Amino acid sequence: MDSIGSYKKRITQELSEKINLTLREAELEAQFIMQHVLKESSSNLIIKKNEIVLKKDIANIENIIRQRLDDLPLPYILKEWDFYGHTFRISKDTLIPRQDSELLIDIILQKYDLNSPLEILDLGTGSGIIGITLAKNFKKSNVLLADISIKAIKVAKKNIEANYLQNIHYVHSNWFENVDNTMFDIIVSNPPYISKEDPHLKQPELIKQPQVALVSDDEGLQDIKVIVGNASGYLRKMGILLIEHGYNQANKVKQIFTDNKFNQIEQHKDINNKIRVTVGVKI
């Protein structure tokens, strides 16, 4: 019979040996798995490290490990993942929340007072992480989530309900098509921006994620062009548009903003010092 501490070490070793994970990645995954199954915080796992793991929990953990060794990304097995300090429900029909996208939230939090009564649109919302995080922070604002995937919208709806939010709505829409005539202060989007030819798409983590969430024509820029090209018609004066994009698309995305008469264009770097978000103001 294993203690929590030694069992965690054992599954870390198994994950690092059998799938292509660094020891650090395997440690983190083992930590998430233990927290998820034992329903304990990371600090409690340390406090309880000498307690024995129950048989029923071992069965659940082994089941997760089996799926993980089959190359299914851990967030899809656990059906939840963290974004901006909160846990969100996800499914195979939604993108796995990425830490990179937290930059969008940081920028908006720097620009606006939390009491601002804003109209916010999250285009390509997926599981709803961006719009819901904004709705939780800007309590006097209204947030609209839009996505072309009905299955993603259903996941976003569950996340809205789990957070008891009243200031948020959703719409099934091909970009702006079904967005009514509200004028927004903020339009934010993490659209698909990977080129069809990008070899990264063959990586096991990406291959299992919905292609509609990842891939865009025209070297990955087609959806960005549609969004930037139409956003002005839905923005109030001084309203802002924020787009997350690939690290190698900064110049082209800036040009798209300029071509569409956006002003005060800013570009923001992620923790790896790569430009990943472009922001423009409608004057």
Ligand X SMILES: C[S@@+](CC[C@H](N)C(=O)[O-])C[C@H]1O[C@@H](n2cnc3c(N)ncnc32)[C@H](O)[C@@H]1O
**Alpha carbon distance 194, 50 (integer Å):** 46
Query: Are the CB atoms for 229 and 260 separated by under 8 Å?
Result: yes
- Tell the smallest beta-carbon distance from residue 95 to ligand X (Å): 4
Which residues from 107-136 bind ligand X, rule CB under 6 A?
124-126, 129-130
Q: 């649109």: which residue's tokens?
A: 121
Pick between residue 34 and residue 121 the one whose CB is nearest to ligand X: 121
Pick between residue 73 and residue 192 the one whose CB is nearest to ligand X: 192
User: In this chain, which of 64, 95, 235, 253 binds ligand X, going by CB under 6 A?
Assistant: 95
User: In this chain, which of 191, 220, 239, 246 binds ligand X, going by CB under 6 A?
Assistant: 191
Q: Tell me the DSSP string of the chain.
A: --BHHHHHHHHHHHHHHHSS--HHHHHHHHHHHHHHHHT--HHHHHHTTTSBPPHHHHHHHHHHHHHHHTT--HHHHHTEEEETTEEEE--TTSPPP-GGGHHHHHHHHHHS-TT---EEEEES-TTSHHHHHHHHH-TTSEEEEEES-HHHHHHHHHHHHHTT-SSEEEEE-STTTT--SPPEEEEEE----B-TT-GGGGSHHHHTS-HHHHB-HHHHTHHHHHHHHHHGGGEEEEEEEEEE--TT-HHHHHHHHHHTT-EEEEEEE-TTS-EEEEEEE--
- Tell the smallest beta-carbon distance from residue 150 to ligand X (Å): 10
Binding of ligand X at residue 212 (CB under 6 A)? yes
User: CA-based angle 69:74:80, to the nearest 5?
Assistant: 155
Binding of ligand X at residue 243 (CB under 6 A)? no
Binding of ligand X at residue 239 (CB under 6 A)? no
User: In this chain, which of 108, 213, 221, 256 binds ligand X, going by CB under 6 A?
Assistant: 213
Pick between residue 61 and residue 213 the one whose CB is nearest to ligand X: 213
Binding of ligand X at residue 246 (CB under 6 A)? no
Report how far Cα 257 is from the mean position of its chain's Cα atoms. 23
Pick between residue 126 and residue 239 the one whose CB is nearest to ligand X: 126
- Tell the smallest beta-carbon distance from residue 122 to ligand X (Å): 7
Pick between residue 37 and residue 191 the one whose CB is nearest to ligand X: 191
- Tell the smallest beta-carbon distance from residue 91 to ligand X (Å): 11
Pick between residue 84 and residue 257 the one whose CB is nearest to ligand X: 84
- Tell the smallest beta-carbon distance from residue 13 to ligand X (Å): 31
**Alpha carbon distance 52, 5 (integer Å):** 9
Binding of ligand X at residue 73 (CB under 6 A)? no
Binding of ligand X at residue 101 (CB under 6 A)? yes
Neighbours of 7 (CB within 10 A): 20
- Tell the smallest beta-carbon distance from residue 55 to ligand X (Å): 36
Site string for ligand X, 145-174 (x = CB under 6 A): -xxxx--x--------------------xx
- Tell the smallest beta-carbon distance from residue 209 to ligand X (Å): 9
Judged by the rule CB under 6 A, the positions of this chain that interact with ligand X are 95, 97, 101, 124-126, 129-130, 146-149, 152, 173-175, 190-192, 212-213, 223
